[in-house]
Every structure is written in structure tokens, then in C-alpha cells.
Structure 1
Amino acid sequence: MPVPALSDAEAVEVARDLGLRFAAGAAERDRQRLLPTAELDQLSGSGLLAVTVPREFGGAQLGAETLAEVFRLLAAGDPNIAQIPHSHFVYVNAMRTQGSPDQQAFFFGEVLAGKRFGNAQSEIKSRHVRDHATTLRPAGPDEWILDGEKGYCTGALFAHWIPVLAHRGEGGPLHVAWVERDAAGVTVIDDWDGLGQRTTASGTVRLDGVRVPAGRLTPYHLTFEKPQIYGAFAQLLHAAIDAGIARAALSEAAGFVTTKSRPYPDAGVERAAEDPLIVHTFGQLELQIRAAEALLAEAGRAVDRAGADLNATTAGQASLAVAAARAMTTAASVDAGSRLFEVAGTRSALAALNLDRHWRNARTHTLHDPAAWKVQHLGRYAVDGTLPPNHGQL
């Protein structure tokens, strides 16, 4: 059954409602590492996973600013659930920019039918994040054989299609091989053991002699041979997840302080929520999180502006805006996840409450890309107007 088409306002409202629903079980899922299979089915059925499909293929083609807010609201409920479809949207974008008309018609049709894309991109044994050993070798004029092993494959376990980043030929150009989740030779292993984001199932994908028709390959290398917002779009969604974690941590801290915390005697107040030192700390965190949310919204608008008029300058400005958002949301989420204990007091440290999941989620997710490099590129631009490099991490 086709999923419903949503307007900007409808998408935000649906995300807000789902975020509230997902929040109810987030602590227990984290504690027991219960994978959110049913919740992902709700997300798929809501229509949110199809909101960026282009209009000419029957989609709503909603912009980056709206999608960032959707991710922020989902992450405020459960950042694990928000992270799982991150690659789905990134590869919908990849198909939009590099797919042939026939490929687009097929795969966008899959998305509109409720199908999910995963990810098999990074390699744990590689020298760095942009180094890949997975290879496609020819098996005839219209077929390739795919071999390799990928790690950090968020979304793959729950996917219908797994886009795999691989060299076409030994040392050849990078392509995306679109592989069905249950294809022969594909093994998805739930071996993710992170201290945070515990229920994303970001495990291993092994590819052993997987047969891929030529019509299921799209070029990846061409993405970065001209100005692009592919990287900025992907990074924007990461920033939105961190902003959601920060807001959730502060909200839960406020709920605890107003209902469970005892006042410190020297404050001379009846309620912990009236302690001026606690109120001041909440004010500091609120200021930091509001700044992160504002930078996130502006980054979304910058990506949308660049998409409407794409050139080296607009693409660079979008990357800088997203870099600022990522640096700020990194600090806000880690700080809020830690300082919630400072305001909530000793009782908040009880393991049964599982309030430390906010810090663990923030600390784990913010490791995707070093925030220091975001600041470095911002600094270079501030000093002499140097635009950031044209790659997928910005």
C-alpha cells in the first residue's frame, strides 16, 4: 500500500507525535537492547520515509529544513530510531542525483511503497573513512560480482535494500551497488556493541559473491566532481539527531528536578526547582540548546538555498552552515547529557532510571565526525575566506 504524501506542516506534526510515542519506551529499549522493529514499521507507515522523493515521481520533495526538524523531533523521542533511517534519506538523495531515469522510477517507487534503504558504506579495517576495499568484478556484460565486508551498517538489519559502496573493478571508480537485503551472499550481523545508540543495530554486512545486475549500479565518484550538497545534507541530519538528544536530556532533567529532587539546605528554598544555582544552570543549557537548534534551522535553509542555485559558493556556504550546526549540536548534546546530573542530584544517578543513556547516546553519535574539524574549516573561512573541501564529511 502506498504511504501517505505529507506537506511540510504535516511531516513535522507526524514526527512530533511519533517522537512522543517513541519516548515512552526509549529507556527500556536501551536498557535491554530491544531493537525497535515495531517502531520502525510505524515510521515506515507514517509516510515520513518518502517525503524527499521528487515530485515528478509522485513524492512531496520536502526540503532539508523540514527534514532536519523531522529528525530532531524523532531523536528527541529516541535517537536510535532517528539514526536508523539516516542512510535511507542519504541514499534517496544519491539516487536523486546520480540515478538514471529508469533507476529513479524503480527505487522511488519502492520508497513510496514503504520500502527502507539501509547502508553498507564504512569499513572497519580501512585506513580512514574514505578508504574502501569492497570491489565489484565483472561477471559478463550485464552483471557484476560484489565481495567485501562493511561495518557500522546502520539500517541494514531493518532494510529492504542495502546500498553498498564499492570500487567497480580493482581500484576503479566508486559506485553504489543496490543489493536486496535477502539476496544470496548477503549476511547482516547484529554485532553492534556501542556504549550508546545501543539499539541502532549498526553491525556488520558481509558480501560474498553477491550478483548485481548492471542496472543496479549508480556512480558515486561523480558526486564530488562538481559542487554538491550531498555531504552537507547527510551531515545536517546528524546534527539534527544531536539536537534532539540535547533537548530530550534537558526535558528529562527538568521533569526530574520538579518532581523528585530534594533542595540543597543552603539554598533556603522548599523545592529544588527554586534553587537559583539550579535555575541558572538550566538557563545556561537552554541558551546553548536554543543556539544549536537555531543553527540547525539555518543550516537546513542554507542547504535548501544551495539546492535551488547550486554552485561552488552556495555549496561551500551550505557546508559551513552545517559545520557550525554540527559543532554546536555536538557540544550541546554532550553537555546536556552530562550536566543533567549536576542539576538533578544524587538520586538521578540510580541505574534504574537510565538517565545516563542521554550522555551515552550523545557521546557515541557525535563521534561520527570530529567537531574540531568543523571548527577548523569555519576558522579558515573566517581568516581568509577559504571554502571547505568538496567531500562527503562536510
Structure 2
Amino acid sequence: MSRVAVLTSDEAVSRASELGAEFAKGAAERDRDKVLPREQIAQLAASGLLAITVPSEFGGAGLPAVTVAEVFRLIAHGDPNIAQIPHSHFVFVNQLLLQGTRDQQARILPEVLEGRTLGNAQSERGTKHIRDYRTTLRRDGDAWRLDGTKFYCTGALFADWIPTLAHLGEDGPLHVAWVRRDAQGVEVIDDWDALGQRTTASGTVRLDGVRVTDDLITDFSATFTGPTTYGAFAQLLHSAIDAGIARAALSDAAQFVTTKSRPHPDAGVDRAADDPLVVHAFGEMELTVRGAEALLADAGRAVDHANANLDEHTSAAATLAVAAARAATTTTSVDVASRLFEVAGTRSVVAKESLDRHWRNARTHTLHDPAAWKVQHLGRWAVDGTLPPRTGQL
């Protein structure tokens, strides 16, 4: 494969805007018919956007987090399913940069620059909580044997590599096994059937005696032993997806009100868009969406500042900034996607309009990590300066 284009920040944002607009055209139909966006993911990979965090020392652009967040927001504005699919791709490129050896980075990052993609196999069903795992790596001769079953494996169906979280030994520290999608013993099942984000293929990955060599294992537990932006970066991209959903819901509401809605007779106007109650509602929604977008951009800058000046306080500041953005985009995306129907009227609930997908997507994606815990940690910091914990969920 030939290398993808190395994009500047302006080029990345411009290309994301173009692709987001293109992806929007078929988003409703893909959602309604549950058509997986294979062609669109291939376009995304070929565009160079999935390689923008590869450092310059490996031939990439090494673009800042604030740019990556804006790229995600713009893609999500078009179709949040497509934006969520490569989320783990960026998170595990980051994990490789933080915990991989130079040889491991030199092996995998050039593939990213050729348009190859990373998925994930992290969460598991039936465990005590989200950070409880049963999947194990056990020594087997000169390599390791990987066994387990994972769920919510967004991106795995489309990926070339599936980074997998597993204990080293029965109860040892968590490590990442870098597994090829087509490796013997790997089965990726598209059994995702959810209210929203219907075409992310976030289903099951089964791992049965998958052989993993020492050079394809990185330490995950060490990620959180000191100051880090690992979790903040991951959550920043989730926040960007929700911000994109909110803006899309508002845009579609405006389009519907100006072209299809009828005015209420008490308003005394010819267009629904001229009803003062409708205009006021749009003003309120625009205000909340702008606020969420501003918090997202601020959080991206905080992550970049921490990456350049990493210590306990800058990493905590980044975590809190992202927590604020995530809490705001959660509330905003769900509220605006619901209020859409209030301003658009009865005609907007007709199934063929597919406007309900915005609420379903927002409601589904915002459950990924509870916003209430973001607010809890913000409150603890505001009350007595308690620094937030270091986890991938904050």
C-alpha cells in the first residue's frame, strides 16, 4: 500500500468537513436499513485523517488534540456512527506512543501511515464493572496464548489490528495484545443491536488460543502510574462525537422548520420559522450547542498544554477540562436531539424523516461513560481541590 497524505491542521479540518458533508447524505438510510459504512470507513482511511496523530519522527503530522477533536466533531456532524468507529484507532495509536517500545512503534505506525486501521477488544460482559476483565495471556512455549470474549468492540470488524486488553497470567497486570484481525483464533461477530449508533458494528470478539509473541505486547497498567493524558484524550474524542450529534440535530431541525413545518395559528405568521416561540427555542439551543463546542475546544487545548508540559497538575487540569466538556456535550446532545421535535412539530416524527436517529444516537453514545461521574469529580475539585483519578474513563 502507498502512504496516505500527511495533512496539516487546516487540511485535516477542511477534509473532515468535506467528508462529514458527504457522509451526511446517506446517514439516515444507513441507520434505517442498518447498512454498515464500509465504503465510508475506507474513504476515511484513504484521506489520511486516521494517520494525523502519527509523530513527525515516523513520517506523520503529529497534529494536536484540539485538531483531532475538531475532525471528530465534523465527521460526527455528518454521521456519528462513522466518527465512533475509529475512536479506538486513535486511542491505541496513543497507547502505542506512550507504552510501546521503539521497535513496536516502528513496526505498527508505518502501517497506520499506509491507511491501515486499529480496532479494539476491551469491554467484557458479565464482569463486576467496566474495568474488570477475564481475558488472559498465558505463557505457551516461546509465545503467549490469548483467550477471552469481548463485547462493545467498536472498529474491530473494519480493522487490520485489534488491540486487546488482557491480564498477563491469571491475575497479572493488564497488557495490550496487538492481534491481527485475520489471526488464527480471532472471530469478530457483528451482533450489535442497539437503540442508536446502529451501524458501528460494536459487537463481539472471541479469542480462542490466539498466539501472541512478546514483541506484540505492551504494558497497559503502566499507563496510569504517573501523570497522563491518556484517558483525557480518549474522552475528548467521545465528547467531540456528542458535540457533532448536537450540531447535526440543530441543523436538521432548522432545515425542517424552514421547509416542511406549518406555523401554529396563534402565532399569526406565514412560516413556522417566524413563530417567536420557535425562534426563541432555536436561540436557546444554539446557545447550549455553542457552549458545548467552546468547552470541547478548551478541553482540546488543555490536553495539548498538558502533553507539552506534563505533570500532576497539568494532567489533572486536562482531565477536568475534558470532564466539563463531556458533561456539557452529553446534556446538550440529548436535549437538543429531543427538543428538535418540539420546534419541528408533528410532521417531524414521521418515520421516513429519520430525525429520531439524532436522539437515539445521542442517548446511546452518551451512556459510554456516565456524565454524572464527570460532574462528581468536578465538584470534588471545586470544593476542596481533590485531583481526579487516573483512568481511561475520565
TM range (shorter): over 0.9
How far off is 1:143 after superposition?
0.6
Q: Secondary structure at the match of 2:325?
A: helix
1:200 and 2:165 matched = no
Partner of 1:226: 226
Q: CA RMSD in A?
A: 0.5
How far off is 1:261 after superposition?
0.3
How far off is 1:125 after superposition?
1.5
CA displacement, residues 101-152 of structure 1 (integer Å, 9 cap, x when unaligned): 0000011011001100000000012111100000000012x31000000000
How far off is 1:294 after superposition?
0.0
1:144 and 2:177 matched = no
Partner of 2:131: 130
CA displacement, residues 280-306 of structure 1 (integer Å, 9 cap, x when unaligned): 000000000000000000000000000
How far off is 1:391 after superposition?
1.2
Question: Distance in 2 between the 1:139 and 1:393 partners?
Answer: 32
TM-score, reference length from structure 1: 0.99
Question: Distance in 2 between the 1:107 and 1:280 partners?
Answer: 52
CA displacement, residues 213-270 of structure 1 (integer Å, 9 cap, x when unaligned): 1110000000011111000000000000000000000000000000000000000001
What is the 5 A alignment of 1:29-40?
29-40=30-41
1:8 and 2:5 matched = no
Partner of 2:168: 168
CA displacement, residues 282-332 of structure 1 (integer Å, 9 cap, x when unaligned): 000000000000000000000000000111100000000000000000011
Q: Secondary structure at the match of 1:368?
A: coil
TM-score, reference length from structure 2: 0.99
What is the 5 A alignment of 1:259-338?
259-338=259-338
Question: Distance in 1 between the 2:374 and 2:99 partners?
Answer: 27
Question: Distance in 2 between the 1:365 and 1:268 partners?
Answer: 40
Partner of 1:89: 90
Partner of 2:64: 63
How far off is 1:387 after superposition?
1.0
The one-letter code of the counterpart of 1:73 is L
Question: Distance in 1 between the 2:23 and 2:244 partners?
Answer: 13
Question: Distance in 1 between the 2:164 and 2:370 partners?
Answer: 24
The one-letter code of the counterpart of 1:125 is G
Question: Distance in 2 between the 1:78 and 1:390 partners?
Answer: 31
Partner of 2:189: 189
Q: Which runs of 4+ in 1 moved over 3 A?
A: none
The one-letter code of the counterpart of 1:22 is F
1:256 and 2:253 matched = no
1:213 and 2:185 matched = no
Name structure 2 gaps, 5 residues minimum: none
Q: Secondary structure at the match of 1:367?
A: coil
Q: Secondary structure at the match of 1:389?
A: coil
Partner of 2:99: 98
1:47 and 2:44 matched = no
Question: Distance in 2 between the 1:127 and 1:159 partners?
Answer: 28
Question: Distance in 1 between the 2:36 and 2:313 partners?
Answer: 42
Question: Distance in 2 between the 1:155 and 1:351 partners?
Answer: 28
Quote the sequence identity (%).
70
Partner of 1:153: 153
Question: Distance in 2 between the 1:116 and 1:390 partners?
Answer: 27
The one-letter code of the counterpart of 1:352 is K
Question: Distance in 2 between the 1:392 and 1:158 partners?
Answer: 23
CA displacement, residues 314-354 of structure 1 (integer Å, 9 cap, x when unaligned): 00000000000000000110011100000000000101111
The one-letter code of the counterpart of 1:285 is M
The one-letter code of the counterpart of 2:392 is G
1:342 and 2:374 matched = no
The one-letter code of the counterpart of 1:24 is K
Name structure 1 gaps, 5 residues minimum: none
The one-letter code of the counterpart of 1:115 is R
Count of aligned residue pairs for this structure pair: 393
The one-letter code of the counterpart of 2:164 is V
Partner of 2:245: 245
Question: Distance in 1 between the 2:122 and 2:150 partners?
Answer: 6
The one-letter code of the counterpart of 1:202 is S
The one-letter code of the counterpart of 2:44 is L
Q: Secondary structure at the match of 1:163?
A: strand
Question: Distance in 2 between the 1:359 and 1:369 partners?
Answer: 17
